């Protein structure tokens, strides 16, 4: 039986700023630029009580919380703190899979520290993080990888949640499907239309029934809800691309309308790249368009900078392939080079 721990720092960027400037500790703060059209990277828990969330525009956040203090991000500082935290992880296991600067999976199955108790290890790791950095972390502990990630969010902030092997079946049966990694808003709406809301609803259906409606994803979903997807920590995980996309409730009817949505998508993409320390490894820029008839197309070019004008140009190329069809989904992405690699010469789009 595997033993997974998922560690997730509590409002990481904001927590670093409150640590370094105690005057901010009891005030609502958010990390981001001061531009009205800027987008928030994260917010502390005081600001979240007002409804302020990551990826929200500064303008909207200020409307919800007029006293919100906008703090410029200090990415280099966050990276250094993240390195300190990861050094702690490696004291417990070599099987560490960082997901971003502020979260990681640990496989402690073979670790003998704390009598082999993953629960005690998670507690010790959190205490050591606090002693070393002055920051709090939350943890999820489970015999299945994705359950550990879900569990780390259940006792936030500064807490942990354990799902024991004998509790897995009940936990999954009662689990809201929207909490399962890979189940996005659009997919969740489709599941709801079919009367599927929790894990038990999925188990009440035949796996073949799910596959006939969702393809391979149906099988993946069934196996997760049945507790058959144990998962493994990917130590040598090398991301080759990263993208963000959005499916719109109402189709976008023109190129100009599509271009108006690029700013928000680009801000979200940049935020994710910064969180995973990948900005310096961008090698290609890509735009994805899915038309109203579900036909998709992409346009890309080699490039190392997140330039809105380049993305607009790529969008125009991709949009033209659809004739006058409306657009239901837009996506922006980047190719990720290996460390030290250089972008190739420009390719035809």
Q: Is 102 annotated as a binding residue?
A: yes
Of the residues 17, 97, 103, 274, only one is catalytic, namely: 103
Residue 137 sits at φ, ψ, to 5 deg, of: -135, 155
Whole-Å CA distances, 315 to 265, 268, 320:
13, 17, 8
- Provide the terminal-to-terminal Cα distance of the chain, rounded to the nearest Å: 48
Number of helical H runs and strand E runs in the chain: 14, 12
- Which residues share a beta bridge with 71? 31
Residue 241 sits at φ, ψ, to 5 deg, of: -160, 165
Question: Is residue 103 flagged as an active site residue?
Answer: yes
How far apart are the C-alpha atoms of 73 and 271, rounded to whole Å?
A: 11
Reduced to 3 states (helix: H, G, I; strand: E, B; else coil), residue 104 is strand
- Judge contact between 293 and 278, C-beta under 8 A: no
H-only helix segments in 65-143: 75-89, 118-133
Among 117, 116, 127, CA closest to 7: 127
Reduced to 3 states (helix: H, G, I; strand: E, B; else coil), residue 229 is coil
Residue ranges at the known binding site? 8, 102
Give me the active site residues, please. 103
| Binding site residue list for Mg(2+) | 8, 102
């Amino acid at each position: 039986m595997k033993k997974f721990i998922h560690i997730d720092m509590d409002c990481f960027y904001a927590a670093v700023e409150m640590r370094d400037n105690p005057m901010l500790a009891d005030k609502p703060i958010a990390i981001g630029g001061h531009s009205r059209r800027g987008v928030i990277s994260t917010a502390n828990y005081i600001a979240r009580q007002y409804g302020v969330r990551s990826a929200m525009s500064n303008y909207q956040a200020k409307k919800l919380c007029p006293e919100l203090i906008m703090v410029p991000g200090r990415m280099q500082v966050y990276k250094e703190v993240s390195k300190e935290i990861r050094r702690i992880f490696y004291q417990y296991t070599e099987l560490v899979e960082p997901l971003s600067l502020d979260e990681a999976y640990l496989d402690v199955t073979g670790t003998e520290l704390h009598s082999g108790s993953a629960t005690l290890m998670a507690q010790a790791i959190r205490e050591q993080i606090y002693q070393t950095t002055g920051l709090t972390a939350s943890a999820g502990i489970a015999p299945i990888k994705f359950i550990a990630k879900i569990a780390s969010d259940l006792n936030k902030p500064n807490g942990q949640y354990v799902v024991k092997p004998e509790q897995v079946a009940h936990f999954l049966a009662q689990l809201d499907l929207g909490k399962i990694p890979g189940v996005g808003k659009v997919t969740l709406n489709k599941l709801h239309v079919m009367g599927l809301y929790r894990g038990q609803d999925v188990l009440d259906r035949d796996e073949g029934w799910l596959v006939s409606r969702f393809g391979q994803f149906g099988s993946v979903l069934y196996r997760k809800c049945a507790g058959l997807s144990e998962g493994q920590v990917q130590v040598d995980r090398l991301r080759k691309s990263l993208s963000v996309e959005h499916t719109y409730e109402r189709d976008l009817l023109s190129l100009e309308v599509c271009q108006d949505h690029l700013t928000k998508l680009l801000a979200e993409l940049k935020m994710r790249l910064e969180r995973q320390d990948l900005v310096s490894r961008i090698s290609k820029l890509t735009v994805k368009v899915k038309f109203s008839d579900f036909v998709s197309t992409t346009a890309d070019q080699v490039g190392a900078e997140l330039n809105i004008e380049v993305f607009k140009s790529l969008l125009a190329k991709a949009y033209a392939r659809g004739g006058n069809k409306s657009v239901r989904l837009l996506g922006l992405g980047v190719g990720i080079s290996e460390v030290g690699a250089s972008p190739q010469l420009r390719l035809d789009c």
